[in-house]
């Protein structure tokens, strides 16, 4: 029984948070193209940082392309959540590429090739996170977006796991539906009012190939030195 459990762990990317993994059906299956979408301040980056932490602790190497943080600010933010990655950075087990949003406006056509080339070059890094695609999506064509997604699928077929993060408003409905359909896993983050309290929710829309049954909704808060704290308000959406 223990051998089967260990074998299952080898086939998933864990968040390092048992309750979240449970709702994801055990974790993200290796080789999954994952879409994380949601509104501003809904916890998308925190979720990605949790994925980075869980992956590094399980022995996977990670590449993060980010428009949200420099390496220094990423370290500071993760450390404030109790997710210190300094040793992993020094060992080269996590690589951080900061994509300055102001520069993307003039060099949007270079953004996708840069991400794909770096992914191809660093074959030992099994988890790739792009947080986020939002600044470049309004500037590139629909054809370029779908070509990028197709290339991501190719890498996932080679055993890489890619997480693309974006705001829901960044694409028109037609293209957004195509991106959702092409993704193996689709997670939506929102801010909702439950009673008199504003909370963050993570909806697991789909996880293809999950080892266990997936859960619908996770309700959480982000707390210093704790990170994502699951709240007893989780509920399935009808």
176, part of any domain: yes
Half-sphere exposure of 147 (CA within 13 A, CB side): 11
Regions in the chain scoring below 50 on pLDDT: 1-5, 7, 234, 236-238
pLDDT digits (tens, 9 = 90+) for 126-145: 999 999 999 999 889 999 99
- The span from the CA of 54 to the CA of 18, in Å, is 10
Asked if the structure places residue 3 within a domain, the reply is no
Q: Given this model, what pLDDT does residue 103 score?
A: 73
Query: How far is 32 from 12, CA to CA, in rounded Å?
Result: 9
- Distance separating alpha carbons of residues 185 and 182, to the nearest angstrom: 9
Q: Residue 61: which domain range?
A: 9-230
Residue 236 lies in a domain: no
**Number of domains present in the structure of the chain:** 1
- Buried residues in 5-22 as b, exposed as e (16+ CB within 10 A): eeeeeeebbbbbbeebbb
| Residue 4 in domain | no
In tens, the pLDDT along 45-74 reads: 999 999 999 999 999 999 999 998 999 999
Say if 45 falls within a structural domain. Answer: yes
State the DSSP string of the chain.
-HHHHHHHHHTEE--S-HHHHHHTTSSEETT-EEEEEE-TTSSHHHHHHHHHHHHHHTT-EEEEEESS--HHHHHHHHHHTT---HHHHHTTSEEEEE--HHHHHHHHHHHHHHHHHHHHH-TTEEEEEEE--TTTTTTS-HHHHHHHHHHHHHHHHTT-EEEEEEEGGGS-HHHHHHHHHH-SEEEEEEEEEETTEEEEEEEEEEETT-SSPPPSEEEEEEETTTEEEE-TT-----
Residue 238, pLDDT score: 43
Any idea what the CATH number is for the domain that residue 174 is in?
A: 3.40.50.300
């Amino acid at each position: 029984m223990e051998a089967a459990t260990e074998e299952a762990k080898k086939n998933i990317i864990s968040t390092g948070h048992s309750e979240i993994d449970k709702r994801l059906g055990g974790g993200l299956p290796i080789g999954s193209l994952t879409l994380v979408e949601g509104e501003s301040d809904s916890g998308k980056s925190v979720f990605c940082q949790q994925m980075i932490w869980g992956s590094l602790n399980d022995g996977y190497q990670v590449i993060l392309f980010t428009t949200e943080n420099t390496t220094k600010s990423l370290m500071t933010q993760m450390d404030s959540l109790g997710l210190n990655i300094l040793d992993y950075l020094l060992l080269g087990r996590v690589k951080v590429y900061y994509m300055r949003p102001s520069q993307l406006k003039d060099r949007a056509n270079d953004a996708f090739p840069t991400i794909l080339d770096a992914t191809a070059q660093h074959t030992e890094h099994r988890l790739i996170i792009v947080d986020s695609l939002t600044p470049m999506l309004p500037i590139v064509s629909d054809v370029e977006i779908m070509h990028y997604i197709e290339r991501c699928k190719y890498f996932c077929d080679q055993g890489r796991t890619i997480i693309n993060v974006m705001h829901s408003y960044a694409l028109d409905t037609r293209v957004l539906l195509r991106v959702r359909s092409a993704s193996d896993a689709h997670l939506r983050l929102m801010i909702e009012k439950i009673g008199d309290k504003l909370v963050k929710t993570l909806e697991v829309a789909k996880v293809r190939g999950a080892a266990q049954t997936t859960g619908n909704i996770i309700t959480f808060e982000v707390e210093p030195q704790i990170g994502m704290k699951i709240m007893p308000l989780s509920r399935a959406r009808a």
